[in-house]
């Protein structure tokens, strides 16, 4: 004899994926706003849908009465995992990213806007395609959680647990000027794009990018002590 509750639960789970597909698509669109053109929006949606279906099958409303609350972080995490796999930079290329960042910072300080790829290519003596690839990879990684950002260049000498690292980051942030704290808060925790943050602070997008990189550098130096 078929248990009516079991049948009803199966039907409920079947409908969950369909009901939350628009939410997953909106999440992918939001993330895409912060990524370079090389990342395909449809790939993000596909990864999100796949995770959504898996989660809808595993979901138990008795354990958690809010499906989206249960699924949201996991779906977003699956998209970030996909982006991590796109990171194909070698150690030498990571050094190039740091050189590009330094040159951009100097240029923005002088001219208040970012230089072209052609300028970077000429100044660094590096093929423009390599410059584009390095900048795209850097943009992809910049949407990762801040603790991932700090480990990106593998130059944090003190190996600490993630929880301890986050606590240390928060302490360092409290010592920084309010505007710098706000950029990090809006970018990593509110997940706003650089353009949106620029509008809120009434500065250029380049200036926000500069502040963001400056703070990450400060935190990395503090952690290295």
- 110 lies in the same domain as 25: no
Q: Give the residue with greater pLDDT, 5 vs 10.
A: 10
- 43 lies in the same domain as 103: no
The per-residue pLDDT for range 156-206, each reduced to its tens digit, is 444 456 677 778 888 888 999 999 999 999 998 888 999 999 999 998 888
Task: Give this prediction's pTM.
Answer: 0.76
Among 85, 118, 136, residue at a domain's last position: 85
Q: What is the pLDDT of residue 153?
A: 46
Crossing angle (nearest 10°) for helices 41-58 and 4-32: 160
- 66 lies in the same domain as 116: no
Contact between 91 and 46 (Cβ < 8 Å): no
Q: What is the pLDDT of residue 157?
A: 45
What's the number of domains the chain is made of? 2
The per-residue pLDDT for range 61-109, each reduced to its tens digit, is 778 788 898 999 999 999 999 998 886 666 677 788 889 988 988 888 8
Q: What is the pLDDT of residue 151?
A: 60
- 139 lies in the same domain as 51: no
Among 85, 107, 124, residue at a domain's last position: 85
Domain of 183 in residue numbering reads as 91-224
Least confident span in 14-18, 33-37, 102-106: 14-18
- 58 lies in the same domain as 107: no
Q: What is the pLDDT of residue 60?
A: 80
- 102 lies in the same domain as 204: yes
- 39 lies in the same domain as 126: no
Q: Give the residue with greater pLDDT, 8 vs 36.
A: 36
- 31 lies in the same domain as 98: no
- 75 lies in the same domain as 119: no
Q: What is the pLDDT of residue 218?
A: 86
Contact between 89 and 97 (Cβ < 8 Å): yes
Q: What is the CATH number of the domain that holds 189?
A: 1.20.140
Q: What is the CATH number of the domain that holds 68?
A: 1.10.1740.10
- 167 lies in the same domain as 213: yes
Which pair of tokens denotes residue 176? 């920084």
The per-residue pLDDT for range 37-72, each reduced to its tens digit, is 889 999 999 999 999 999 998 888 778 788 898 999
Among 85, 116, 143, residue at a domain's last position: 85
- 81 lies in the same domain as 190: no
Convert 152-181 to b/e letters by CB count within 10 Å (16 or more is b): beeebeeeeeeeebeebbeebbeebeeebe
């Amino acid at each position: 004899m078929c248990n009516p509750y079991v049948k009803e639960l199966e039907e409920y789970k079947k409908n969950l994926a369909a009901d939350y597909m628009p939410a997953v698509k909106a999440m992918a669109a939001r993330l895409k706003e912060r990524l370079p053109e090389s990342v395909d929006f449809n790939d993000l949606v596909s990864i999100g849908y796949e995770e959504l279906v898996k989660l809808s099958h595993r979901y138990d409303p008795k354990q958690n009465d809010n499906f989206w609350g249960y699924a949201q972080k996991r779906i977003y995490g699956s998209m970030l995992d996909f982006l991590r796999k796109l990171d194909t930079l070698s150690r030498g290329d990571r050094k190039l990213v740091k050189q590009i960042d330094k040159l951009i910072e100097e240029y923005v300080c002088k001219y208040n806007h970012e230089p072209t790829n052609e300028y970077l290519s000429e100044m660094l003596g590096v093929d423009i395609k390599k410059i584009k690839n390095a900048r795209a990879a850097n943009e992809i990684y910049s949407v990762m959680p801040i603790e991932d950002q700090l480990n990106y260049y593998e130059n944090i000498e003190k190996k600490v647990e993630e929880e301890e690292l986050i606590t240390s980051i928060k302490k360092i942030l409290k010592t920084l000027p309010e505007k710098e704290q706000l950029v990090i808060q809006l970018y990593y925790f509110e997940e706003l794009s650089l353009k949106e943050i620029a509008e809120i602070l009434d500065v250029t997008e380049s200036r926000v990018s500069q502040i963001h990189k400056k703070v990450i550098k400060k935190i990395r130096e503090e952690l290295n002590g």
